[in-house]
Structure 1
Amino acid sequence: MDDDTARTPGSLPSDPASHGSPLDADVARSVPKGFRVAAALSWRFLVIVAALYVIGEVVGYLPVVVIPLSVALLLAALLIPAVHRLMRIGLPQTLAAVIVLIGGLGVVGGLLTFVIIQFTEGLPALQQQVSQSLEQIEDWLINGPLHLQQTQIQDAINNGVQFIQDNQAAVTSSALTTAGTIGTFLTGFLLTLFILIFFLTSGNQIWTFLIRGVPRNVRDRADLAGRRGFTSLINYVRATAAVAVVDAVLIGVGLWIIGVPLVVPLSTLIFLGAFVPIIGAVVTGAVAVLVALVTNGFIASVIVLAIVVGVMQVEGNVLQPLLLGRSVRLHPLAVVLAITVGLTVAGIPGALLAVPLLAVLNAGIKSLVHGDEFEGDGDPVTGTDVAGSESDPGGTDHDDPNAASRDTNSDTTVTTGESDRSEE
């Protein structure tokens, strides 16, 4: 029988109340359709929020694992293009990954060594300038508008020393906490390095194993979405590195013009801090302002503060939204809000991971919704973008036993009704 002839006048085929008592049907018909749709959307929204809350609680309970895993994924996105370039000249993937990893560690180690050497060489001059600045401050306090007495200044110093002695237990506890934090950091660093090795050497096999948990009819589309999401992550890491270089160069040039000592170590510190969006550059910039205050005086510190604030404005209002937003195809407002929400929810790790997570989700969801019509990427099967960079999550398809079935036709349209060709 036709569905239209089976329905009673005024009944809704999708209304559960139409299958209940006449009173329920009357009540359902009395409720406007907009209210019923809003109620259906509301309880589904509450279920999604509850699921996200449970996931957040689990992630928050395991930060020692989640944070190293996330950082290793970011580092893999930074290093995997170099691994692919070495593989194109004929090197095996494992050897290419080892070379890139050792080279990366060598660059970081050399940079840190250079910073330490520069700091050690500039320390005597820094101590002399600090001593002169303290004498100038003391002279200003005595002969300046405050007209303080020498005894008052000495009493303030003695009070500070007495305060530290009275709170020695708290200071000791803070030192122990710092030592524990350093131990946790070292543990996380080793775990990150261990995970990164496997991401670089067998990332594609890991992804292929994970994607097998997806139902067959959507597995190809989910595979495509994951690879495009990783391409977006690669673009994000590159753009963040460019922002960090701009911050370090601009602030470093300003410090050099003013004559602040330790320009190279401070610029390096600002470069590393800029990888934590907004907060990292602010903290490292505050260090530069403090150094300028104790070495070059109040006026110089104010100028350095103006330089840091100006660079932060350029980063927050121009570089971060436009450069990052363009590379990961996010609206500038979404970039700023993601950083703010991540900082509020999870502090510095949240600020570091919020935008890349949003970028991956944005690219993956667009790929799931639009399929091969999703603009901005290249071949959806081979997983390369328009610039030729690989979107393969941590590996290449030449080691993947399922790659042959995926590469049979680069123009293949991925549909949700396809079966898993790799298992047939």
Structure 2
Amino acid sequence: MIALSRKREPRPDRPGPERSSVPTGVRAASEWSWRLLTVIALAGVIIYLVVVFQDIVVPLLVALLVSALLQPTVSTLMRHHWPKWLAITVCLVAFAAILAGLITLVVWQVRIGLPQLEHESVAAYNRARDALRQPPWNVTDAEFAGYFRSAGAFAQKDSAALVGGVLKVGTTTGHLLAGWLIAIFATIFMLIDGGGIWRWITRLFPVGGRPAIRAAGDAGWRTLTSFVRVQILVAVVNAVGIGLVAFFLGLPLAIPIGVIVLLASFIPVIGAIVSGIIAVVIALVFGGPLQAVIMLAGVLLVHLLEAHVMQPLLVGGAVKVHPLAVVVGVAAGSGIAGVPGALFAVPLIAVANAMVSAMLRVAHGTPPADDPGPEKVEVAGATPET
């Protein structure tokens, strides 16, 4: 008994574990730090590759958005026994016809209203100059011209980073044509065999990680299709609302204003600001200060409706990204790639968030939050189970 209760002394040839001199908190912080640096380095490499190969990446992203827009319609037509090739062809032709119609309508309206716009712009310039000549301003013509040039230079400087992304993509006719061809062919192949393309990508990963990759792909695609459809609805509501305000004010460029708002609404935050400024400036030039104030009120009302009704009810459920992340993402995207970066920032953030969440759920052994459970699979010629 005495021998059993005696403490066992450590043997000289088997020393016990040494206590680390580094505190636990510092050691944990260092482990987090180098992992975080690795993630940041990987993100930097990806951003660098995207910028270098943007002539290929941007058309592929455009094709992905167009495919997400058209794929539900193609699936609906196929469920109504349309051949796959016919459904894809009809959707692509209808999409191209809508784009061509919008461009033709804008060009036609601008050509009609351009002479009046030039005349009213000169008249507005003269009115502003005459008003500033009077007390208490007492601004001379030379000073007014200098202020006008300074404002133009300031606007040009601030918009250089944003417009630079457009100028980089397709700086020559050959690059622009190649980008359009890549976008068209990528859209066609994604609509024909998008699932097969993703299955091929999934097979590049180890077998143990393929279930998480498949779940991430499904979640990302659902998020992208929801985002595109909801964003189109939001853009149409904004365009119709602001366009109607311009129409009731009697502005000759009401339709181009609506189309500009429609296209700009796909760029969160920045698009609303730019399209609102354009609408207010046109109202000021054509109508005067009162019409500009009414237009500003209409723009604010429409965007308040978007921010407090459509964004929480529609966009929030589709994107599931905090508004601060949207603002930071749009700012970072516009700084990196101009207009394309601002356009693709929010869908990329939303898809990445959905994919990472789905992968974590699979890794933790929990089903996706929106998983309806196993679906009944109907096989042609099979007898239904009882």
What is the TM-score with the length of structure 1 in the denominator? 0.71
- What corresponds to 2:245 in structure 1? 254
| Aligned equivalents of 1:301, 1:181: Cα separation in 2 | 36
Change (3 A) 1:103 1:43: same
| Aligned equivalents of 2:337, 2:367: Cα separation in 1 | 35
Change (3 A) 1:125 1:46: closer
CA contact (8 A) 2:219 2:358 kept: yes
- What corresponds to 1:26 in structure 2? 18
- Of the candidates 333, 340, 347, which is equivalent to residue 342 of structure 1? 333
Superposed displacement of residue 104, structure 1: 0.2
CA contact (8 A) 2:129 2:144 kept: no
Change (3 A) 1:335 1:179: closer
Matches within 5 A, 1:370-385: 370-371=361-362, 373-378=367-372
| Aligned equivalents of 1:323, 1:80: Cα separation in 2 | 20
CA contact (8 A) 1:78 1:238 kept: yes
The count of aligned residue pairs is 350
Change (3 A) 1:65 1:178: closer
- What corresponds to 1:232 in structure 2? 223
Change (3 A) 1:301 1:9: farther
Letter in 2 for 1:26: E
Q: SS of the counterpart of 2:62?
A: helix
CA contact (8 A) 2:54 2:169 kept: no
Change (3 A) 1:249 1:134: same
| Aligned equivalents of 1:107, 1:63: Cα separation in 2 | 26
Q: SS of the counterpart of 1:277?
A: coil
CA contact (8 A) 1:228 1:364 kept: yes
Which structure 1 residue ranges, 5 or more long, are not aligned? 1-7, 11-20, 161-173, 384-397, 399-403, 409-424
Letter in 1 for 2:100: G
- What corresponds to 1:391 in structure 2? none
| Aligned equivalents of 1:155, 1:257: Cα separation in 2 | 33
Is 1:52–2:43 an aligned residue pair?
A: yes
Is 1:357–2:357 an aligned residue pair?
A: no
CA contact (8 A) 1:321 1:333 kept: no
Q: SS of the counterpart of 2:18?
A: helix
Change (3 A) 1:210 1:60: same
Larger displacement relative to structure 2 (312-321 or 215-224)? 312-321
| Aligned equivalents of 1:42, 1:192: Cα separation in 2 | 40
CA contact (8 A) 1:321 1:335 kept: no
Change (3 A) 1:337 1:9: farther
| Aligned equivalents of 1:205, 1:179: Cα separation in 2 | 29
Letter in 2 for 1:277: P
Superposed displacement of residue 106, structure 1: 0.5
- Of the candidates 296, 308, 314, which is equivalent to residue 299 of structure 2? 308
Is 1:104–2:98 an aligned residue pair?
A: no
Which structure 2 residue ranges, 5 or more long, are not aligned? 1-7, 150-163
CA contact (8 A) 1:260 1:295 kept: yes
Change (3 A) 1:294 1:213: same
Is 1:115–2:112 an aligned residue pair?
A: no
| Aligned equivalents of 2:143, 2:342: Cα separation in 1 | 43
CA contact (8 A) 2:55 2:169 kept: no
- Of the candidates 70, 77, 102, which is equivalent to residue 79 of structure 1? 70
Superposed displacement of residue 135, structure 1: 5.3
Letter in 2 for 1:83: V
- What corresponds to 2:282 in structure 1? 291
CA contact (8 A) 1:129 1:294 kept: yes
Larger displacement relative to structure 2 (302-311 or 245-254)? 302-311
Q: SS of the counterpart of 2:45?
A: helix
